[in-house]
Amino acid sequence: MTMMRWFRALACMGCFAALIGTTPALAMGGTPEPLEPTGRWMEKSFGNAALPPMGWNSWNAFHTQIDEAKLLGSAQAIVDSGLRELGYRYLNIDDGWWQKRRLSDGRMVVRTSIFPSAAGSDPEQTSFRPLVDKLHAMGLEAGIYTDIGRNACSQGYPGPDSLLPTGTVAEREVGLYDHLAQDLALYFQEWGFDYIKVDGCGLNAFSPDKPAVKAGQFRAFPALVVSDSVNQTRVADIRALYGQVRDALMRVRPRQDFVFSICNWGTANVRAWGRDLGNLWRTSDDIEPRWARMLYNFDSVVTRELYSGPGHWNDPDMLYVGQGEFDVNHLAEARTHFALWAIVDAPLIIGYDLRQAPKAMLDVLGAGEIVAVNQDPAGNQGVLAYTSDDLQIIVKQLSTRDEKAVVIFNRGTEAVNATLTAAHLKFRPGTVIQVRDLWQRRDLPPFTDETSFALAPRESVMLRVKGLPQIADGLYLSEMPGRLYVAVDGIHALQADPQIHRPVNMGDGTTRGSGPRPALAGWGGPRADSTPYDNQLRLRGTVYNSGIGALANSRLQVKADGAFNRFSAQVGMDDSSLERGARVRFEVYGDGRLLARSPALGADDAPFTLAARVAGVRTVELVAREIGQGSAPAIVTWGEAALRH
Ligand code: GAL
Divide the 645 residues of the chain into consecutive groups of 10 and give the mean pLDDT of each group. 36 48 39 82 93 98 97 98 98 98 98 97 96 98 98 96 97 98 98 98 97 98 93 96 98 96 97 97 97 98 98 98 98 98 99 96 98 98 98 98 98 97 98 98 98 98 98 97 97 95 86 93 98 98 98 97 98 94 96 98 97 98 90 93 98
Which residues are identified as catalytic?
A: 199, 286
Q: What are phi and psi of 354, to 5 degrees?
A: -75, -10
Cβ(345)–Cβ(314) below 8 Å: yes
Instruction: Give the span between the Cα atoms of 308 and 524, in whole angstroms.
Output: 17
Ligand 1, pocket-test mutation among 93, 95, 319, most atoms within 8 A of CB: 95
Q: Is the minimum distance from the CB of 154 to ligand 1 under 6 angstroms?
A: yes
Instruction: Give the span between the Cα atoms of 335 and 354, in whole angstroms.
Output: 17
Tally: H helices and E strands in the chain: 15, 31
pLDDT of residue 16: 66
Ligand 1, pocket-test mutation among 56, 57, 58, 59, most atoms within 8 A of CB: 59
Tell me the residue length of the chain. Answer: 645
pLDDT of residue 2: 35
Q: Is the minimum distance from the CB of 201 to ligand 1 under 6 angstroms?
A: yes
CA distances (Å), origin 424, targets 199, 376, 450, 480, 484: 38, 20, 9, 15, 21
Gap between the terminal Cα atoms of the chain: 65
Q: Is the minimum distance from the CB of 109 to ligand 1 under 6 angstroms?
A: no
pLDDT of residue 505: 78
pLDDT of residue 10: 41
Instruction: Give the span between the Cα atoms of 19 and 248, in whole angstroms.
Output: 18
Cβ(620)–Cβ(557) below 8 Å: yes
Atom of ligand 1 nearest to the CA of 317: 9
Q: Which of 492, 501, 553, 544 is nearest to 523 (CA)?
A: 492
Rounded distance from Cα 101 to ligand 1 centre (Å): 20
Atom of ligand 1 nearest to the CA of 199: 7
Q: Is the minimum distance from the CB of 98 to ligand 1 under 6 angstroms?
A: no
Instruction: Give the span between the Cα atoms of 239 and 219, in whole angstroms.
Output: 22
Cβ(26)–Cβ(125) below 8 Å: no
| Biggest alpha carbon–alpha carbon distance for the chain | 79
Instruction: Give the span between the Cα atoms of 220 and 570, in whole angstroms.
Output: 55
Consecutive H or E run containing 62: helix 59-62
pLDDT of residue 510: 87
Rounded distance from Cα 362 to ligand 1 centre (Å): 24
Rounded distance from Cα 69 to ligand 1 centre (Å): 21
Cβ(490)–Cβ(550) below 8 Å: yes
To the nearest 5 percent, what fractions of the chain are helix, strand and coil?
A: 25, 25, 50
Q: Which of 527, 227, 540 is nearest to 381 (CA)?
A: 527
Q: Are β-strands 547-551 and 141-147 bridged in parallel, bridged antiparallel, or unpaired?
A: unpaired
Burial of 597 (0-12, 13-18, 19+ CB in 10 A): middle
pLDDT of residue 430: 98
pLDDT of residue 92: 98
Rounded distance from Cα 603 to ligand 1 centre (Å): 47
Which stretches of 148-220 are assigned E, i.e. beta strand?
A: 195-199
Instruction: Give the span between the Cα atoms of 585 and 552, in whole angstroms.
Output: 9
Atom of ligand 1 nearest to the CA of 95: 6
Which stretches of 246-325 are assigned E, i.e. beta strand?
A: 259-263, 280-282, 313-315
pLDDT of residue 295: 98
Ligand 1, pocket-test mutation among 62, 154, 198, 263, most atoms within 8 A of CB: 263
Q: Tell me, what amino acid is at 205?
A: A
Rounded distance from Cα 63 to ligand 1 centre (Å): 9
Phi-psi region of 279 (alpha: psi -120 to 50; beta: other; left: phi over 0): alpha
Q: Is the minimum distance from the CB of 151 to ligand 1 under 6 angstroms?
A: no
Q: Is the minimum distance from the CB of 95 to ligand 1 under 6 angstroms?
A: yes
Rounded distance from Cα 641 to ligand 1 centre (Å): 40
pLDDT of residue 26: 33
Atom of ligand 1 nearest to the CA of 265: 8
State whether residue 203 is helix, strand or coil.
helix
